[in-house]
Amino acid sequence: MKVIIDRDKLKRRAGLSHAASLGGLLILLGSVAISLWKPGWTTLQAIMLFGGFSISVVGIYYANRWAKKPRPEDILDQALKGFSDHYRIYHYLLPCDHLFLTPNGVVVIETCNLEGVFIYQGGKWRQKLSISRAMRFFVEEKLGDPIQRAQDYARWLKKHLEKDLPEGVNIPVNAMVVFTNPYAEIKVENAAIPVCLPKNLKNRIPKGSSKLTEDVYQQVRMKIEQMADYRAEGKSGTP
């Protein structure tokens, strides 16, 4: 399997999130220093306290998204290890974070890197809130509806993939959700698309009814890489 990833984007966003976290903390310390040295400057102290706290929370939120390990892309790569070079996974190069190209079509993989127990029942998500989860409420991503997000990305991708292809060519574009956090537990009933943990990923990938012809497969690959503005000699990935 070939892995194509925009590591520059990862490093840039991780660096910005760390800078925001540190910057917010320094502003908070500055507000404490002002309260000691200039107790009369209450307005400035309040502004710095609020601003520092807000910046720090935003920084921690995005650090959890872009710097927290284990990384979702690493977990997906490990779970999908062993496929031939006709399988390609693209990370952070399109609006959907993870895209898996197979000889049977394309799979949008929406990941959730959250800890806890998540239940999908009757078309709705619920999660059991623990004390630790409640304490991290403002600095972690929210679950939302990962199934809907994956389906929306799949529809968008199918529309753009088939835009310039010969009329009548049908590109199977499927979607799935993977909970990548090692401490995640899921209970799913009657989901419209596969929802699984990494250990079940290989067996849950939508296979499709037939393989793409080599010509169509190459057209789809080139279209994806054109959309991603990817060049083999430019972006980082496995050769």
pLDDT for 12-52, tens place per residue? 777 777 787 788 788 878 888 888 887 778 888 888 788 87
Binning pLDDT at 50, 70 and 90, where does residue 80 land? very high
Question: Edge-to-edge strands of the sheet including 173-179?
Answer: 195-196, 173-179, 105-112, 98-102, 88-91, 2-5, 236-237
Query: Among the ranges 23-32, 123-132, 182-191, which has the highest mean pLDDT value?
Result: 182-191
pLDDT averaged over the chain?
83
Question: What's the pTM value of the predicted model, to 2 decimals?
Answer: 0.80
**Residue 108, class by beta-carbon neighbours within 10 Å (0-12 exposed, 13-18 middle, 19+ buried)?**
buried
Going by their DSSP bridges, the two strands 116-121 and 88-91 should be labelled as unpaired
| pLDDT at 238 (0 to 100) | 38
| pLDDT at 128 (0 to 100) | 78
pLDDT in tens, 197-227: 999 999 999 877 688 889 889 989 988 988 8
**Rounded average pLDDT over 165-176:** 85
Per the structure block, which two tokens stand in for 61?
């939120």
Q: Report long-range pairs for 186-193 (Cβ below 8 Å, ≥24 apart).
A: 186/117, 186/118, 186/119, 186/120, 187/117, 187/118, 187/119, 187/120, 187/121, 188/119, 188/120, 189/120, 189/121, 189/122, 190/123, 191/120, 191/147, 192/147, 192/151, 193/147, 193/150, 193/151
CB 118 within 8 A of CB 187: yes
| pLDDT at 42 (0 to 100) | 80
